[in-house]
Amino acid sequence: MSKKRLGNVWMGETCPIRQVLDRFGDKWSILIIELLSQEGKLRFSEIAQTIGDISQKMLTVTLRSLESDGLVTRRFYPEIPPRVEYELSDLGRSLVPHIEQLTGWGQAHMATIMENRRLFEAKRMEKN
């Protein structure tokens, strides 16, 4: 693509690709979206328990980011003890088919990717 045709779409914080990759380039966002798409409403502790190896702080940060982007809704119930539930918003649900396509691609090509990694590492070791 020519620079003229692209304009400044790649520049700075207004770049849509950067904005999307920033959100989904982390380890947890896609997992949380996929989990909420399958389970519906979940409490913080249920998300943490299901994912397993995510810290409380990272789960909090990720849920806040997803909420700030409008992908997840947070509902607080003033009960004793307080209850908070998370659910995908309409915008978040619209993302699910794309995540499923990416997941499907990964599953279809995982064996090839793993073999390519093995071959790459073997070549790298030969050079050393």
What residue has token string 């990717």? 113
- The pLDDT of residue 55: 95
pTM of the model: 0.78
Give the pLDDT means over successive 10-residue stretches in the chain (128 positions): 52 74 84 95 96 94 95 94 95 94 92 96 89
Nearest to 40 by CA among 2, 87, 7: 87
Q: What residues have CB less than 8 Å from 84, skipping those under 6 apart?
A: 43, 44, 74, 75, 76, 77
CATH number of this structure's domain 16-94: 1.10.10.10
- The pLDDT of residue 8: 56
Where are the domains positioned within the chain?
Answer: 16-94
- The pLDDT of residue 1: 45
